[in-house]
Structure 1
Amino acid sequence: MTTNLPEDVYAKLDRAAGHLAELARVEQDLLAAARPRVELDQRGEQPCYRFRRDAPPGQVIGAAIGDVVHNLRCALDYSACRLATRHCAAADLTKVQFPFGSEDECLRSRDLRAFSGISTDGRDRLERARTAGGRALHLLRALSNQDKHRLIVTHFFQTEEAGFTVDLAGAEGTVTAPALDMWKVNVPLEDGDVLAVGHHARFTPNFAFMLSFSIDGFHGTYRLSVLSAIQAKVHEALSELAPAMGSIPK
């Protein structure tokens, strides 16, 4: 946990950590209940492998993601409010939020409109915080905006690695290789979906499946573990801002 932070900022980080731990428990419970797996279907003329699960991801996990995101975003916004107040006691805090700016660009005047009278050092601190947080902060902003309007929905996806149990004249072994149906990796799977891998008596696919979600404006899908990476980057950003934070008058 980042040290030397104001109590309100620390409280939001602590709450985010608690929600992250709860999210991990929710994920494990869901995986245990859903039992995502591959099943051989021999009912048709051509045998095929299907994705099977006993339960859908549901909405609880999406709500838990939103709780993590909300508290991390609040920690950044609280810090921005403290910085704004330090440079202008009359700052309108209803208009202050952490200036994420545009990715790969320095902050512009419009990004700092709410930071009236901000010093060169204060501006430098914000830039250093943005640099420390990097792309993770932009992911956080996108997730936060997405969660404001609709629940973040998770789906089962196939991982990029595939295991195969191989029977060679009665001897079994395990081979791990890139998945044969790579085109399926970024496609959400529903119960009963056919996996694009041919059936062979000596090869039994043992694909792994994961819970992932998409983020508006970003390519591909993200595992739940991305939230831990975002959390770490938020801590790094706040470490850069900590020396510049003032106190907010009560």
Structure 2
Amino acid sequence: MTKDEYGDGIIAKVTRAADLLEQLQAMQAELREGREEPQYERRDNARGDETNPLVWVEWVVTKTPAPLPLAFSALLGDVIHNLRAALDYSTWAAVDGGIRETDPRGVAFPLYDREADFIKWANRKKDWYAKPTMDAIERAQPFKAPADRLHPLAVLQQLSNVDKHRLLNVVEYAAFDLGPVGITPEPVVKHYGAATGRVEAGDVLVRVEFPRPVEGHEVELRPTFGWYESVPYERDGEVDYLRIDWMLTAIYQMVVTTVADMDVARRIERGEVDPNAEAERGN
């Protein structure tokens, strides 16, 4: 990034986000060190229900720890705010002074899940941004992601919108992994269900059902539960829970890449960089 007035502001926001992210990670580690793990117990019908052709096994929460402190959510919101601001600063740097004075609220980095919405925005703003900047903005759009993948900046946009009005809802998510099943022949699982999001005492973490094995064959189930600080993310009417550490790493990396791309675009527009050389380097 260039060492100019606006470039320095972008760097300051990204650096601040990195510092806050370190503080969040330190708080996360400290909380994990001092918090009690959730407790659960196993229930099944392996004994006393031999006439049932299906065996069911479930793990039920018996005790949950105290909720995470509000300070954790507030700090997460600060990370999100600074990363979103870095993107907005990059568009502020790309427009001329007249636009900044006449329509300051209109200068913001757009993030769209649908290409049609982005095209509408681009048509409205076509006189605001030169082609290199417009191309850089388009490259960062969430609609560019494959349909089966979350785009980090789409997540950033939703969390930023939530944080403007209330604290982000941080929950502990129960991740479950069913280990090898030692039975011959191996059963076909008839049913599998796992909890997502916040769980309370009495909730079923996981339930599996499978054909009852013939007498003398043993079934070994090895569940692994992982408890991670997560935030809910809504997409197409469905709510998923995103593990905070992985999510923030992806968002931070994407923001850094995007603001750097925006800076190169500005330098191309000022004649400081050969666009052909940049295109070759990108390839």
- Out of 154, 172, 184, the position equivalent to 2:194 is 184
Q: Is the 8 A contact 2:176 2:224 kept in 1?
A: no
1:162-194, Cα deviation, whole Å (9 max, x unpaired): 469x9xxxxxxxxxxxxx995334242124534
**TM-score, length basis structure 2:** 0.66
2:173 is paired with a residue of what secondary structure? Answer: strand
Indicate whether 1:36 and 2:37 are aligned. Answer: yes
1:66-107, Cα deviation, whole Å (9 max, x unpaired): 111100000000111111127857552232100213444573
Q: Which runs of 4+ in 1 moved over 6 A?
A: none
| Matched letter for residue 243 of structure 2 | R
- Out of 219, 242, 245, the position equivalent to 2:263 is 242
Correspondences of 1:64-75 after superposition (within 5 Å): 64-75=75-86
Indicate whether 1:222 and 2:242 are aligned. Answer: yes
2:118 is paired with a residue of what secondary structure? Answer: coil
Structure scoring higher RCO (CA < 8 A, sep ≥ 6) equals 1
Distance of 2:191 and 2:64 partners within structure 1: 19
Question: In structure 2, what is the equivalent of residue 155 of structure 1?
Answer: 171
More moved, 214-223 vs 141-150: 214-223
1:159 is paired with a residue of what secondary structure? Answer: strand
1:233 is paired with a residue of what secondary structure? Answer: helix
Distance of 2:29 and 2:251 partners within structure 1: 20
**TM-score, length basis structure 1:** 0.74
Q: Is the 8 A contact 2:100 2:107 kept in 1?
A: no
- Out of 121, 141, 148, the position equivalent to 1:130 is 141
Structure 1, unaligned runs of 5 or more = 167-179
Indicate whether 1:84 and 2:92 are aligned. Answer: no
Distance of 2:143 and 2:261 partners within structure 1: 8
| Matched letter for residue 56 of structure 1 | P
Structure 2, unaligned runs of 5 or more = 49-56, 146-150, 183-189, 209-217, 268-283
Q: Which has the larger radius of gyration?
A: 2
Distance of 2:197 and 2:102 partners within structure 1: 47
More moved, 210-219 vs 103-112: 103-112
CA pair 32-197 structure 1, distance change in 2 beyond 3 A? farther
Q: Is the 8 A contact 1:33 1:54 kept in 2?
A: no
1:190-233, Cα deviation, whole Å (9 max, x unpaired): 245343458x9x86755222221102446411000201111101
Correspondences of 1:140-151 after superposition (within 5 Å): 140-151=156-167
| Matched letter for residue 146 of structure 1 | V
How far off is 1:132 after superposition?
11
Question: In structure 1, what is the equivalent of residue 212 of structure 2?
Answer: none
CA pair 212-129 structure 1, distance change in 2 beyond 3 A? closer
Distance of 2:40 and 2:142 partners within structure 1: 47
Question: In structure 2, what is the equivalent of residue 213 of structure 1?
Answer: 231
- Identity over aligned pairs, percent: 25
Aligned residues: 230
